[in-house]
Structure 1
Amino acid sequence: MSPILYYGVPSGCSFGSIVALEWSGLPYRLARVEMPEMIHTDAYRTINPVGETPALLTESGDALVESMAILNHIGANAVASGIAYRQGTREFDELNRMLAFLNTTFFNSFASLWHVLEHEVDEATKAALTEYGRGRVVRAHEELERMLGDKPWLLGEHRTLADAYFVGIARWTKYHEVVDRRDYPNLQRLYDKLQADPAVVFAHAIEQQQPARSSGGFLGEVALDEAVRYKRAA
């Protein structure tokens, strides 16, 4: 069985996993998960009881959740593609460090802003959470700008899983107007380059349900109810 990635829309961080799968060249399928409605269904809870995306149903029918785990699973099977490295190498450690930063600092800097957007809060709470989120997003951008420097990709001369994960999260600034990416020219340069990448163009088209041309091993989409049938019994 080819793996099935459950991706969340709109604008889920699972976007990065779609890009990574395209870059990997591995065969895979996609299952669309409308948020928040479908993540609370019994069908999706059988895949991820936490009710979050992304999730990956592996070739053996095991459900794997959390972006870092999914990206490392993809990378372990796609070392030859150049987007990941063999565990135990210095390059693997550097990639894991960057993925951890993107997950714990860059991703999480938006948390309070998403709370304001998705929940009803009074004006004082909204102002406090927005200001707190603004400070965290600014600091995360400043640090990542410094880490990238003048390198063509986050880890140097070659694109990796880190760049795929970055592009799915970086677009969140359009929902939360707390920073202008143009103030961070290195990040803007990387973001613009990624937007022109065929895998990123494909992932946008998939999310928007427009005609999408894969440059990887995409085998088609399956409905959520159909996709869960492939899960191996615990």
Structure 2
Amino acid sequence: MSVERTLHHFPMDPASRQVRLSLGEKRLPFNEVQVRYWESPPEFLALNPSGLTPVLEEKGPDGRIVLCESRAILDHLEEQNPEPALMGREAAERAEARRLLQWFDRKFDYEVGGYLLHEKLEKRLLKLGAPDLAALRHGREALRGHLVYIEGLLQDRDWLAGRRLSLADFAAAAHLSVIDYFGDVPWRDFPGVKTWYMKLKSRPCFRPLLSDRCPGIAPAGHYDDLDF
């Protein structure tokens, strides 16, 4: 059964990156429409009145489906395309994957991305002036705390939620990858996290993210290096 997919997204949005990773890992082809969400384009608001990316359109024999924002899209992809299973095969792993999805999409995003990405990316897009140094310092300190936590998880696990790669890994990598674009991840101080990230970075589904570029902002020199 043929399904035509179109992903409306912003390349530097961690939520959009999670969906791109999942689509790539499941080898599901899709078309891309990049959205300048901060301009509130009417055609995008017609798809998702919240104005938030990503949005996935699917057109198939049973009609058209519009899925708004990452959790709805990721759940749908798991339901409709269960292999490879990215939510875990055992109840305990699925529970841990869901917990960590919430961790990164709420706690990490609020404590880290809300400072670093707002100051370095959103202010530029919205023409709000130079980054606030105190806010950057706050975000970097919070980032180190989260990296300590991730390092602890990886001491006893192959992947964040357990023995298998899951959406928890994609969520963490999506958030970290955008911050890494700006060179703010202290990889040298967290060798376990760096090794985990290198494994993810070398997967075929990750390659398109490494070619993303933010207009007017060059990535850190190691951003697209698989053996950084």
Q: TM-score range by the shorter chain?
A: 0.7 to 0.9
Q: Provide the residue aligned with 2:57 in structure 1.
A: 57
Aligned partners of 2:117 and 2:179 also within 8 Å = no
Q: How far is the alpha carbon of 1:75 from its aligned partner?
A: 1.9
SS at match of 1:199: helix
- How far apart, in 2, do the equivalents of 1:106 and 1:144 lie? 11
Q: Provide the residue aligned with 1:104 in structure 2.
A: 106
1:66 and 2:69 aligned: yes
Aligned partners of 1:78 and 1:84 also within 8 Å = no
Q: How far is the alpha carbon of 1:176 from its aligned partner?
A: 4.5
Aligned partners of 2:4 and 2:58 also within 8 Å = yes
Give TM-score, length-normalised by structure 2: 0.75
Specify every segment of 5 or more residues in structure 1 that has no aligned partner in the other structure, as ranges. Answer: 209-234
Which 10-residue stretch deviates more, 173-182 or 75-84?
Answer: 173-182
- How far apart, in 2, do the equivalents of 1:164 and 1:30 lie? 20
Aligned partners of 1:3 and 1:58 also within 8 Å = yes
Aligned partners of 1:4 and 1:31 also within 8 Å = yes
Q: Provide the residue aligned with 2:91 in structure 1.
A: 89
Distance 1:166 1:139, change over 3 A: same
Q: How far is the alpha carbon of 1:30 from its aligned partner?
A: 2.5
SS at match of 2:49: coil
Aligned partners of 2:37 and 2:53 also within 8 Å = no
Q: How far is the alpha carbon of 1:152 from its aligned partner?
A: 2.4
Counterpart pick for 1:192 among 176, 192, 198: 198
Which 10-residue stretch deviates more, 108-117 or 173-182?
Answer: 173-182
Aligned partners of 1:112 and 1:129 also within 8 Å = yes
Q: Deviations over 1:50-94 (max 9, x none)?
A: 2222112245533222222222222223333132247x9333212
Q: CA RMSD in A?
A: 2.6
Q: Deviations over 1:161-218 (max 9, x none)?
A: 222222222112335544412211111011111111111114445x46xxxxxxxxxx
- How far apart, in 2, do the equivalents of 1:188 and 1:45 lie? 38
Q: How does 1:191-210 map to 2 (within 5 A)?
A: 191-205=197-211, 207=212
Aligned partners of 1:95 and 1:155 also within 8 Å = yes
Equivalences, count = 201
Distance 1:94 1:79, change over 3 A: farther
Aligned partners of 1:105 and 1:140 also within 8 Å = no
Give TM-score, length-normalised by structure 1: 0.74
Q: How far is the alpha carbon of 1:105 from its aligned partner?
A: 2.1
- How far apart, in 1, do the equivalents of 2:207 and 2:161 lie? 22
Q: How does 1:116-131 map to 2 (within 5 A)?
A: 116-117=119-120, 118-119=122-123, 120-121=128-129, 126-131=132-137
SS at match of 2:31: strand
Specify every segment of 5 or more residues in structure 2 that has no aligned partner in the other structure, as ranges. Answer: 214-228
Q: Which has the higher contact order (CA 8 A, sep 6+)?
A: 1
Q: How does 1:1-234 map to 2 (within 5 A)?
A: 1-9=3-11, 11-13=12-14, 14-25=16-27, 27-36=28-37, 40-59=40-59, 60-85=63-88, 89-108=91-110, 109-117=112-120, 118-119=122-123, 120-121=128-129, 126-205=132-211, 207=212
Q: Deviations over 1:1-58 (max 9, x none)?
A: 433222212x222122111112224x44222214356x52111111122222211224
Q: Deviations over 1:70-127 (max 9, x none)?
A: 22222223333132247x933321211111112112233211222222323577xx12
Identity of aligned residues (%): 23
Distance 1:145 1:65, change over 3 A: farther
